[in-house]
Amino acid sequence: MEQPLKGIRIVELGHVIAGPLAATLLADFGAEVTKIENPRGGDMMRDLGPRAKDDGLGVWWKTLARNKSILALDWKTPEGRKILRKLVEDSDVLVENFRPGVLERAGIGPDVLHEWNPALIILRISGYGQDGPMVKTPAFGRAAEAMSGLAHLTGYTDGPPMHPGFPAADSTTGLMGAFGIMLALHAREKDDGKGQVIDLAVFEGLMRLIDYHVPVATGTDLSPKRNGLRQPMDFAPGGMFCTNDGIWVTVSAGSAETARRLLRASGGDAFADDPRFATMAGISANMGEVFEALKTFIGARDFATVQAEFEKNDAVAAKVLSVEDILEHPQIAHRGDIVTVPDEQTKVVAPVPQLSKTPGKVRWLGRPEGANSREILQELGLTTDEVDALVASGVVGLAKPTGGRS
């Protein structure tokens, strides 16, 4: 059976993480993505982070550009603009994450793009959106983490705000961007067949996923703050604790019944049956005492003992896994969550979610600059001589392909 997005064509003008990730998530499920890079430099993600030992390509690039055909094209030149137009006329989606106004100044704003292709869906990702008082303010992912409230809520109670250990803003934006594209494709299918613009600010995806902080601040007299190793707002017993053999575990309970099992495991019957802990509200009001009891109980035992005690009480103590642990974990291996690609040493995370009839697939990893330029242009009707002339003029870049398109 064909992949669910086979036949959906995407032109990607995105760079770094947010825009490219949106296209990657859809490419995993069959969308045909043509990534356009400047022939004089390419996407900066090629050079960020460590490089693969086998071919020297950046490992981050390998996963962000997987399943994509690579075209090195200076689309701001008259010749490049003609090629871009041909691609757009035959595509369903265009993805860009430049600063607001870049496309307009280049003469290819949404009005022009929709003249070329009225059915085109345009995903526009920017730091703060395409309008408003901050429209011209420079932005990057970490700034969005600050703007969204995430950094304020991350860290220890008496410590500074912190960023998470991965590019949360850009990654969340990529996910929201892919979601927005799917919504727009569905709307186009059931309505008038016309495309639309998706205006996505990087900080907004984080705000939507944090979610609880705005209703707490507006619907109660409380103010969400950093809570260290404890649960946000102490809404449930739990947190992060270290066993006496140096293994970190996280524990949590989402209901009063589960919470009492957790308290019974850590403090015995008398502690669990204390009337102060009869409800989640009561537990939350006395969370300092609960947290210290859990910390003492877990800190005095090795991981195997803690796990056994919690399992006996039908409570959960989950080991915090390192990346090395993840690579060897039997459940992750059983699910096929890490995949090997032919002729590649670098492994990557498999497509998510797992569809029973039309699953995603990693067909290839990120390729060298211009790897597919010639074949893409010839598919558009250009002759070999015309492609060679564009290469000679610097409008197009070529590189030795690592494999054919599929």
Rounded Cα–Cα distance for residues 293 and 271 (Å): 9
Domain spans, the chain: 9-209+336-397, 232-242+248-319
Pick 266 or 206 by higher pLDDT: 206
Ranges of beta strands (E only) in 29-102 are 32-37, 68-73, 93-96
Q: Residue 403 — very low, low, confident or very high, per pLDDT cuts 50/70/90?
A: very low
Domain 232-242+248-319 -> CATH class: alpha beta
Instruction: Look at domain 9-209+336-397 and name its CATH class.
Output: alpha beta
Q: pLDDT tens digits, residue range 296-353?
A: 999 999 999 999 888 887 788 899 999 999 999 999 999 999 999 999 999 999 999 9
What integer pLDDT is reported at residue 221 of this predicted model?
Answer: 86
**pLDDT at residue 402, as a whole number:** 43
Residues of the chain with pLDDT > 70, as a percent, come to 97
For residue 151, what are the contacts with CB-CB under 8 A and spacing of at least 6? 142, 145, 161, 162, 163
pLDDT at 234: 66
pLDDT, tens digit (0-9, with 9 covering 90-100), for 56-76: 889 999 999 999 999 999 999
Arithmetic mean of pLDDT, 147-159: 93
CA atoms within 13 A on the CB side of 78: 0
CA distance 125 to 380: 28
Residue 163's pLDDT band (boundaries 50, 70, 90)? very high
Pick 105 or 401 by higher pLDDT.
Answer: 105
Contact 259, 315 (CB under 8 A): no
pTM beyond cutoff 0.85: yes
Residue 229 near residue 241 (C-beta atoms within 8 A): yes
Catalytic residue among 92, 170, 234, 273: 170
Count of Cβ atoms closer than 10 Å to residue 116 Cβ: 16
Mean pLDDT of the chain: 93
Q: For residue 170, indicate whether it is catalytic.
A: yes
Residue 390: per-residue pLDDT: 98
Helix intervals (H) in 251-318: 256-272, 280-285, 287-299, 303-312
Cα 371 from Cα 401, distance rounded (Å): 4
Q: What is the pLDDT of residue 406?
A: 39
Cα gap 143→150, rounded to integer Å: 10
Mean local confidence (pLDDT), 269-284: 85
Q: What is the pLDDT of residue 333?
A: 98
* Bridge partners, residue 241, by sequence: 249
Q: Which positions ≥6 away from 118 have C-beta within 8 Å?
A: 193, 194, 195
